[in-house]
């Protein structure tokens, strides 16, 4: 079972490599949760990751010793709402329960650190298999959609999923 803890600034260069491997390029295609067939730019950068580790945001990392296996970002949006994003597991290690453990840790952090009572996320609406996985883990589509955060051609839409946090 991996160790899960908040990421530090020292972790971010190694974490960035895992995030890019999981979301983009040929390495991502080894897993099932990638966006490599829809998006071709970098998923994120170190400057952005730095903004996600302090204040009302945490990146939690799953580790086996010093090896980063995956991560999840949990952000307080205020009024009892937290946002879950950037969930990824190294493509070579997917389907081993690491993602499920990261979600549980993120939800616990949302409750204990941010006093959240519900969590929402956005998923590219074309990623039916991934949305189904989140639904099996208690998330439901709210019926709301949002535009993809950057302009791409063809345009992408984000489905909003949410779940109340059990006490």
In terms of pLDDT, which residue wins out, 58 or 32?
Answer: 58
Q: What is the pLDDT of residues 77-112, one digit of tens each?
A: 999 999 999 899 887 777 788 989 999 999 999 999
pLDDT at residue 41 tops 90: no
Structure tokens given for 156? 């992408």
Q: What is the pLDDT of residues 106-139, one digit of tens each?
A: 999 999 999 999 999 998 888 888 899 899 999 9
Give the model's pLDDT for residue 18: 83
pLDDT at residue 68 tops 80: yes
Burial 41-73 (b: 16+ CB within 10 A, else e): eebbeeeebeebbeeebbbbbbbeeeebbbbbb
Residue whose C-alpha is closest to residue 16's, from 73, 65, 95: 73
Q: pLDDT band for position 39 (50/70/90)?
A: very low
d(CA 26, CA 36): 7
The backbone torsions φ and ψ at residue 87, rounded to the nearest 5 degrees and listed phi first, read: -70, 120
d(CA 72, CA 100): 10
């Amino acid at each position: 079972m991996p160790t899960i803890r908040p990421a530090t600034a020292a972790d971010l260069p190694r974490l960035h490599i895992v995030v890019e491997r999981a979301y983009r390029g040929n390495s991502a295609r080894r897993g099932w949760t990638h966006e490599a067939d829809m998006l071709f730019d970098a998923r994120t950068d170190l400057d952005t990751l730095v903004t996600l580790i302090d204040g009302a945001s945490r990146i939690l990392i799953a580790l086996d010793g010093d090896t980063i296996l995956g991560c999840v970002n949990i952000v307080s949006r205020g009024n009892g709402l937290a946002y879950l994003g950037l969930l990824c597991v190294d493509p070579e290690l997917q389907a081993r329960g690491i993602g499920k453990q990261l979600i549980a840790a993120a939800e616990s952090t949302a409750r204990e650190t941010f006093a959240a009572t519900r969590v929402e996320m956005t998923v590219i609406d074309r990623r039916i298999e991934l949305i189904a996985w989140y639904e099996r883990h208690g998330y439901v589509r709210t019926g709301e959609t949002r535009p993809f955060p950057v302009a791409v051609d063809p345009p992408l839409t984000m489905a909003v999923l949410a779940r109340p946090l059990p006490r």
